[in-house]
Amino acid sequence: MDPMKILHSLAENLLTPIPMCFALGIFCKLIHGGIKIPKELYYSISIFLLMSIGFVGGHELAKEVKDHGISTVWLPALATLFLGCFTPISAYVILRRLGGLSVADSAGIAAHYGSTSAVTYAVADVFANQSGHAPNSFLPTLVTILECPGIAIALAMGAVFSKVKHDAKQSETLLPPDDGHSHTKEEGQLGEALYEVLTGQSIMLMAGLLVIGFVSTFIMSEKGFHPFFDFFYSKGMIFRGALCIFLLEMGLVAGERLGDLKKVGIFLVAFGILVPIFHGFLGAYLGHLAGLNLGGCTVFAAIVSSASYIAAPPAVRLTLPEANPTLSITSALAITFPFNIAFGIPIYYQMAKMIGAT
């Protein structure tokens, strides 16, 4: 593969409004500039983005099902489920074995990397469309499938392994065992955390609007449906502009976290870059095997590689309170997210091309 081509593709991606808005946010934080995005605007935009992804995705899914039935969808969905279960385990093993992190920290970070980031999806989708390879229509469905299992598996691993360690320690020191209260409490907390993820804003809005878009495509006449579609899709205009504002705020937040990079150490920085490339490659490869097109493989690799920083943190905080949130949020938000936006997505695009996706 021609390295010049890759460099060209990287530069082409970097010099588009979305990554540059993100960079502006970071730059502004570094020089203590005056950009301030009101919280309410940030929330409003994230609601619009999630609703738009869900609604347009539901509509496209309905069209796909009308034309092909579920024959084209079930394999990618299966690949998504598999990767949703695999990525937290691989992340956990790498953190625990290579990085020597504690059980709770490893599981906490693995939960973030097992889940996905809807904003990374949105940026990858824009990238694929800009390069003229519109991804398969049902990718938003895959995003919602990918969001949950990773968090569940990582939290369960964390709870089980901490319990094993806890029990071993107790029998070593000959302390009287707990009355069993702490165990049931842990299980209750795990259930609570999963409930929180499933009923959290991102899943409720995205999955909810997916169903709404899907059902109404079947029921409504095209004329009646169009105003809704025009509002949420708006030829990509409102979506992309809103994404610029959102990324500006993300840049401000990431810029604030840059100072924490020193605290997390070189291992996590390398982890936050190399593991997404590894997971991204798996995503592109399995996506290709499952029949995704070039744009689809690129976006799929991006969502598999991405780390959640909205759904995962509260779930981890409640279930594994001894895990240090600075480690997971810094690597997800200040390392992996910027890496994916700037370099990851074009790299996955090249990977998908190399694998033979068209």
Partner 1 sequence: MQLYPLKQVTIVTEKILQDQLLPKLKELGAGGYTVSDCSGDGERGLRSGVGYGSNIQIIIICPEEVAHKILTHVSRNFFENYSCIAWIADVQVMRGARYVKKP
Segment holding 232, helix H or strand E: helix 222-233
Q: Any idea what DSSP says for residue 163?
A: H
Note whether 326 binds partner 1 by CB under 8 A.
yes
DSSP 87-143: HHHHHHHIIIIIS---HHHHHHHHHHHHS--HHHHHHHHHHHHHTT-PPPTTHHHHH
Note whether 253 binds partner 1 by CB under 8 A.
yes
Note whether 249 binds partner 1 by CB under 8 A.
yes
- Residue whose CB is less far from partner 1, 212 or 318: 318
Task: Single out the residue of 126, 329, 334, 347 in contact with partner 1 (rule: CB under 8 A).
Answer: 329
Q: Smallest distance from the beta carbon of 263 to partner 1, in angstroms?
A: 8
Note whether 194 binds partner 1 by CB under 8 A.
no
Nearest alpha-carbon partner for 54 in 121, 129, 133, 101: 121
Q: Smallest distance from the beta carbon of 102 to partner 1, in angstroms?
A: 12
| Integer CA distances (angstroms), 135 to 127, 146, 199, 331, in order | 10, 17, 28, 28
Note whether 325 binds partner 1 by CB under 8 A.
yes
Note whether 338 binds partner 1 by CB under 8 A.
no
- Residue whose CB is less far from partner 1, 45 or 51: 45
Q: Smallest distance from the beta carbon of 1 to partner 1, in angstroms?
A: 39
Q: Smallest distance from the beta carbon of 290 to partner 1, in angstroms?
A: 33
Nearest alpha-carbon partner for 115 in 318, 353, 311: 311
Task: Single out the residue of 33, 177, 265, 321 in contact with partner 1 (rule: CB under 8 A).
Answer: 321
- Residue whose CB is less far from partner 1, 36 or 226: 36
- Round to whole Å and give the CA distance between 35 and 200: 29
Taken as a whole, the chain contains a residue count of 358
Q: How many CA atoms within 13 Å lie on the side-chain side of 56?
A: 21
Note whether 244 binds partner 1 by CB under 8 A.
no
Note whether 314 binds partner 1 by CB under 8 A.
yes
Q: Choose the stretch contacting partner 1; rule: CB under 8 A; options: 5-13, 20-28, 266-274, 307-315.
A: 307-315
Q: Choose the stretch contacting partner 1; rule: CB under 8 A; options: 157-165, 168-176, 216-224, 248-256.
A: 248-256
Note whether 39 binds partner 1 by CB under 8 A.
yes
Token pair of 25 as six digits: 């946010």
* 347 SS3 class: helix
- Residue whose CB is less far from partner 1, 69 or 321: 321
Count helices and strands (H / E) in the chain. Answer: 17, 0
Q: Smallest distance from the beta carbon of 357 to partner 1, in angstroms?
A: 35
The three-point CA angle 139-319-200 to 5° equals: 40
By rule CB under 8 A, what string of x and - marks binding of each residue 260-299 to partner 1? x---------------------------------------
For residues 302 and 348, the answer to whether their CB atoms sit within 8 Å is yes
Note whether 43 binds partner 1 by CB under 8 A.
yes
Q: How many CA atoms within 13 Å lie on the side-chain side of 9?
A: 21
- Residue whose CB is less far from partner 1, 136 or 306: 306
Note whether 181 binds partner 1 by CB under 8 A.
no
Note whether 310 binds partner 1 by CB under 8 A.
yes
For residues 93 and 157, the answer to whether their CB atoms sit within 8 Å is no
Nearest alpha-carbon partner for 141 in 65, 54, 68, 67: 54
> Where does this chain bind partner 1 (CB under 8 A)?
39, 42-43, 249, 253, 256, 260, 309-310, 313-314, 317-318, 321-322, 325-326, 329
